[in-house]
């Protein structure tokens, strides 16, 4: 799959991802890794990248969630390709990746792209609908989520409306689109869910769930962290301003 990202330092490189958070260490005799810098205070120099490398060499490329101007200048001077990807947490140690710092993309040949939609319903009180996924669905059984489904319709919005009808029994006249968010990337092994998020308002809370879910609840947004939600839900809420 290919992910469009922001170019920072030109160049083209391939390698294995090393995040510094996992157990994967680069082979000192092999090619240098692609380093993903974890969110947080940015390192001031390439010495921090060498520390992540654990092999004393510059990385083949760098992926930054929140780049600083000093870091971008240092990478450009070192002629190390770099990009900004604010959802770099969707990458895992050992991922094979191509980084293009000129055109601005990541290529993950071993990762399958799975486009999906997620519709967040908010009632008149400002409460959010959470649905608990049943044992009959293909992923994240027992987790809580919004209304969701694979992207099969002509547009993400159309698919979101279809899923709302199927999973809640609410009609299109029962909901009103408030906002469409940016894409969210959520990892599940060799699959990458590319989530198209939507926020809908509704005055109806008397829904009927289908076989995909076992229960539902309406909760204030502040209570959502108490639930075991599917990966990426925090970013869905963030991009929708919930």
Domains, the chain, ordered by start: 2-107 (3.50.30.10), 112-240 (3.90.79.10)
CB-side exposure of 104: number of CA atoms within 13 Å?
Answer: 7
From start to end of 10-146, where are the E strands? Answer: 12-18, 34-36, 61-64, 82-84, 96-100, 105-107, 112-122, 128-133, 144-145
pLDDT tens for 63-103 read 988 888 888 888 898 898 999 999 988 998 889 999 999 99
19-64 pLDDT tens trace: 766 544 555 556 666 677 654 444 433 444 554 444 556 788 889 8
pTM of the model: 0.84
* Top-confidence residue, 59 or 120: 120
Give the containing element (helix H, strand E) for 184.
strand 184-188
């Amino acid at each position: 799959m290919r992910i469009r990202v922001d170019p920072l330092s030109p160049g083209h490189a391939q390698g294995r991802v090393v995040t510094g958070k996992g157990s994967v260490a680069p082979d000192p005799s092999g090619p240098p890794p692609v380093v993903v810098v974890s969110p947080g205070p940015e390192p001031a120099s390439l010495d921090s990248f060498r520390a992540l490398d654990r092999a004393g060499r510059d990385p083949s490329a760098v992926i930054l969630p929140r780049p600083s101007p000093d870091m971008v200048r240092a990478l450009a001077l070192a002629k190390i390709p770099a990009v900004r990807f604010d959802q770099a947490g969707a990458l895992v140690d050992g991922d094979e990746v191509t980084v293009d710092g000129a055109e601005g993309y990541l290529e993950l040949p071993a990762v399958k792209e799975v486009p999906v939609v997620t519709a967040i319903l908010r009632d008149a009180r400002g409460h959010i609908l959470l649905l608990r996924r049943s044992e009959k669905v293909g992923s994240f059984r027992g987790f809580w989520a919004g209304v969701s489904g694979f992207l099969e319709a002509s547009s993400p919005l159309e698919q979101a409306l279809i899923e709302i009808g199927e999973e809640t029994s609410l009609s299109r006249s029962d909901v009103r689109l408030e906002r469409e968010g940016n894409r969210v990337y959520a990892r599940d092994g060799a699959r990458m869910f590319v989530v198209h998020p939507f926020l809908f308002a509704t005055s109806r809370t008397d829904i009927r769930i289908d076989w995909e879910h076992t229960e539902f609840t309406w909760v204030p947004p502040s209570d959502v962290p108490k639930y075991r939600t599917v990966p990426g839900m925090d970013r869905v809420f963030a991009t929708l301003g919930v």
